[in-house]
A and B are shown apart, each in its own frame.
Chain A
Amino acid sequence: MDQLTWTGSAGTVLLPVFEIAVLALVLSLLAKLLFVLAGLDVPRLPGPDGTIAARSPGLMASMGIRFSFFAALAAILCMLAAGAVMPTPLEAGILGAMAVRFWPVWLALAATFVLSIRFRRRLGLYGKLFDSTVGMIGFAIVMFWVFTAIFADVIITQDPFIQLSGLKNKVPGIAAPDSPYGWYLLGGDHLARDVFSRMVMGAREVLKIAPAATLFAFMVGITLGLPAGYFGGKLDTFISFLANLVLAFPVILLFYLLVTPEIRDTGIPIVLAALLFLFPIIFLTVLWNSRYYTNPPQRNLYVGITLLIGLWAYSGLAFNIDPLGIWSMEPNMLNVFVSVVFVNSPGVFRIVRGLVMDIKARDYVAAGQTRGEGPWYIMLWEILPNARGPLIVDFCLRIGYTTILLGTLGFFGLGVSPDSPDWGSTIDDGRKLLNLFPHPALAPALALMSLVLGLNLLADGLREESLKD
């Protein structure tokens, strides 16, 4: 079997097109920047009759950027599409073959988009996301990785932990006769494992922790930020001091102190977990109680269910004593999880506190007070729902931030098992031979970057759309 080329047989035509487009893009970007700095970039001002006046050089450059960008994009898409219709990976090339491997993801993405765009008018803020190009691109990238994580078992070409002899640090597209697939699409790493499969599996590792940890950080931040902002005074001073304390720590130092094998022996992570995991239960209990206390049977039902499921999960996650054994977390995973929640919560706290201070001056809050509502009802049902716009945006950004933090942990080899395929550790593994064999580190690096970029774009789109009201 031969080594694969990047673009397969379609590449002979498309590759030069792509190169020219990229070159044109770079040139027009530079030109644009120069024009802007030189003040030649006059904005389009429609004349009284609606026509656009003579084209300025800046405008020409903008058009250049646009056309070359779309040309480059089209070339890549053609390569991917061409690869998908070719019978074997040899003709499809690496890009085409990878596109084929991701088939469940494409299918799921298409279904999501078709359904969402169809019913977008009924879907509130989520539906409005599809009015914004930036938001849609971001959403597509994020969902690409989410679906990749879900279908990872189907996408990988071989078990990410298997090492095949002779494939150590081999370049992308190398033939691997012992592998069931026949090739290492993105080459082999320093232990002769398949870089492509490890990257795909890494998505699962990251997406298992990042959103959940962010959610927990939000619960903690909200539960503390609401009363701090609403009551103010000594309580606020105290919690804010604690939050600033954590924020003043350089994250990396905190990780070096909190995520070590030694600290696991002392039980500090479990204490922290016991503390932090309590917040979601408190949050939900107070949420139901403040709303339904006028109707005790309903209140008892909701609070009962929350306490039952909450305490069950709590016992398993924090202390690993779940009697049924469904909820549990490995000690080092728990350590990582707790640390990430701990680092993220003060940031959420600050945002929530600020939002509450702003919203509590509104008349509908006063209306709630004058009809004798309790403070928690006002915080949770009058203030919090109206802070949701900025919070959702921050949630997206923060998942990205958490992904970066998890990568940092992996990069320093903290808290994760040595051969874990998560992106951070894979980059760490690859960096030692970076200037000789960059590909094992490059693949997870680009994957991580694209996920965070997607989350950022998604947040931007959401912000834009939620401001339009």
Chain B
Amino acid sequence: MTALAPDTPWDPSQPILEIEHLSISFFTRMREIPAVMDFSCTVMAGEAMGLVGESGCGKSTVALGVMRELGKNGRIVKGSIKFKGRDLAQMSDEELRHIRGSEIAMIYQEPMASLNPAMKVGAQLAEVPMLHSGMSKDEAWKLARQIVADVRLPDPDRIINAYPHQLSGGQQQRIVIAMALMAKPALLILDEPTTALDVTVEAGIVDLVKELGEKYGTSMLFISHNLGLVMDVCDRICVMYSGEAVETGNVVEVFDEMRHPYTQALFRSIPLPGADKNARPLISIPGNFPLPHERPPGCNFGPRCDYFQKGRCDAADVPMFPVPGSDRHETRCLRWQEIDWEAPPAKREIKQKAEIGRVVLKMEDLRKYYSVSGGAFGGGMKKVVKANETLSFEAREGETLAIVGESGCGKSTFAKVLMGLETATSGSIMLFDENVQSTPIQKRNTDTVSQVQMVFQNPFDTLNPSMSVGRQIIRALEIFNYGKSDAERHERMLELLDLVKLPRAFAERMPRQLSGGQKQRVGIARAFAGGAKVVVADEPVSALDVSVQAAVTDLLMDIQRENKTTLLFISHDLSIVRYLSDRVMVMYLGHVVEMGTTDQVFSPPYHPYTEALLSAVPIADTKVIRKRIVLEGDIPSAMNPPPGCPFQTRCRWKSQVPGGLCEREVPPVQVLEGGHQIKCHLSRDILAQMEPVIKIAAE
């Protein structure tokens, strides 16, 4: 687009974006809160820069700082942001407006929220070229249609005339990407663009972003908390911790030869292939993320660092040190030359594998149907939503059974039925030899209730915000008829706090005074208050930061080992499932499509859906080679499932089944060696030919 040529000449060998010693603060009535301090980074033309860190580390603030969109209270207090050689921090509003959207574009986390609900998609797209290059309306719509086709959306004519709510989440994100590309910007900022999406949809978006970046030669600033994703997309990486960049460099170099203790600790706390809950457990980072106004002197990571040296690390602010002989690799660690980076972690303890005992939970042919009235205005046809279809499995004492699936697969409904919040339509649930299938929770006796408990997903929602932590645990004890007196229950509550490794003083705290990980621990204590034997953990760590995830997972495993609890672990994250589960059940649209031991499920033969799922999960390990299988389209709605096999609309193996059987009949369950079950029409020969998706390269 010649029309968009910058008004000042710019040499393409110079960096597109050059951030130098940037500091951003937010000002409240009480104090100045520094969000980003002394941040520097350079993005060259066509380069993709990854910005990684946990929540609150300032990575999004950097992105918004580049856009100069810091709200009323935010201000750039120091440093410069040079875009094509011009300092954005000094630009007038009018100059800035010309750059926004035409030269720098942004893609956001929540696609639905980023699109105007009352405007047609086409109008929102066409606005950009009309504004920046004065294109006529017709031309702009034509361009919009072309870009919509470019982001591989089906039926672009229909889509540009649709309202955002008529599109699925994946389609909306593609529209947001299209909007960013309308003016062919030189720099694209992506702020966690796939966090709100399912993994198989995410894989498609990631591929698209990579491909378009190459096609248009756009530079990218890619913000994510997911190291694997950054490895997939980016050339360079910048790791942030508590407002500072701690390590930056080429992705491969940082991943293989990290030179900062935080980066190292981060890698040790994420489950990579090869990690094992007994032999090679994860190592969590001790302590908590410092609050912005309570940062320690000197190195921010100091208090949580294994290599911390008093008097040196906390003496003065640490500058960035270049690592010689590398591709612009820098680290913010005083001791990076003294540390032996190859040494194995010191405090890795090896744990005993738990005994697996008798069957405590057995489900047979469980079905759960809902009837939903169609349309928003009531009336119309009643539709039956089949949330769970012929679910059969058993779980044993001390065993971890993982239930894996994406949104709408019925895993939450299953949990509700098991807990007794809903009753099953048919089938049986045997809990300790008692059939509870049609017993709602009000009719179950206290023992049964206290033995099946749940750990919830969202730490910010799991505790009642207006009741103290201790009070909430005591209430659970009261309900489960534990103890004879208030004093006894109070004592037990303190013991439970010990069990989840929280200080006893927390009993008096209100939930808002706790961090996400601490809240999740209280949730676990509450679940085990009545000596639960079966615990359903509904994505218990997915909302937590990586470093906290490991600690909470470990805690769950420890309590399980001690109490011989059966853990039903619901998750969409295959890495963590592989790490901690004994057996795995994969669900898709209410059907169990594959079930077996962890080894069976994670190695061929796969169900075609499991195969795609495995290949979609990004892995932050340079030695892992993944086969890329990207599924077409989105997950069908459970309201309107496809006929025949639920997965047939997206299956790449469908052609291998003769006679269109997949479109007509729900496949039977095939039992392979060792009790491995696959619900698929593929013949055993074809299944046997499948290749593993993940290979670890020989060193």
Contacts and interface: CB of A to CB of B under 8 A. Distances in A.
**Direct touching of A and B (C-beta under 8 Å):** yes
B22 to A, nearest CB: 11
Contact of B478 (A50, A294, A363, A386): A294
A373 B93 CA distance: 57
Interface in B318-346: none
Contacts of A45: 93
A469 B512 contact: yes
Contact of A362 (B441, B452, B461, B526): B461
A364 B76 contact: no
Contacts of A50: 75, 77
A46 interface: yes
A369 B418 CA distance: 13
Contact of B479 (A294, A364, A382, A386): A294
B464 A382 contact: yes
Contacts of A364: 461-465
A367 B453 CA distance: 9
User: Interface extent on A, as a size class?
Assistant: 20 to 34
B454 A367 contact: yes
A48 B419 CA distance: 56
A385 B90 contact: no
A367 B459 CA distance: 12
A366 B454 contact: yes
A370 B453 contact: yes
Contact of A48 (B90, B462, B476): B90
Interface stretch (B171-179, B277-285, B443-451): B443-451
B481 interface: yes
A294 B485 CA distance: 11
Contact of B449 (A371, A374, A385): A371
B458 interface: yes
B421 A369 contact: yes
B489 to A, nearest CB: 10
B189 interface: no
Contacts, number: 69
Contacts of B456: 363, 366-367
A295 interface: yes
A66 B207 CA distance: 57
Contacts of B75: 46, 48, 50
Contacts of B449: 370-372
B466 A373 contact: no
B442 interface: yes
Contacts of A371: 449-450, 453, 476, 479-480, 526, 530
B465 to A, nearest CB: 6
A371 B450 CA distance: 7
A32 to B, nearest CB: 20
A282 B464 CA distance: 25
B185 interface: no
Contacts of A373: 479
B648 interface: no
A295 to B, nearest CB: 7
B671 interface: no
Nearest to A384: B466
Interface in A361-407: 362-364, 366-367, 369-374, 381-382, 385-386, 388
Given A363-B457, A367-B456, A367-B526, A372 B463 contact: no
B271 interface: no
Interface in B519-578: 523, 526, 530
Q: What 8 pairs across the A-B complex have the smallest Cβ distances?
A: A363-B456, A363-B461, A385-B466, A372-B449, A364-B464, A294-B478, A363-B462, A370-B419
Given A50-B75, A369-B421, A371-B480, 14 more contacts: A48-B76, A48-B90, A294-B478, A362-B461, A364-B462, A366-B454, A366-B456, A371-B476, A372-B441, A372-B446, A372-B449, A373-B479, A382-B464, A386-B466
9 contacts: A50-B75, A294-B481, A363-B462, A364-B462, A366-B421, A367-B454, A370-B421, A371-B450, A388-B466
Interface of A: 45-46, 48, 50, 294-295, 362-364, 366-367, 369-374, 381-382, 385-386, 388, 469
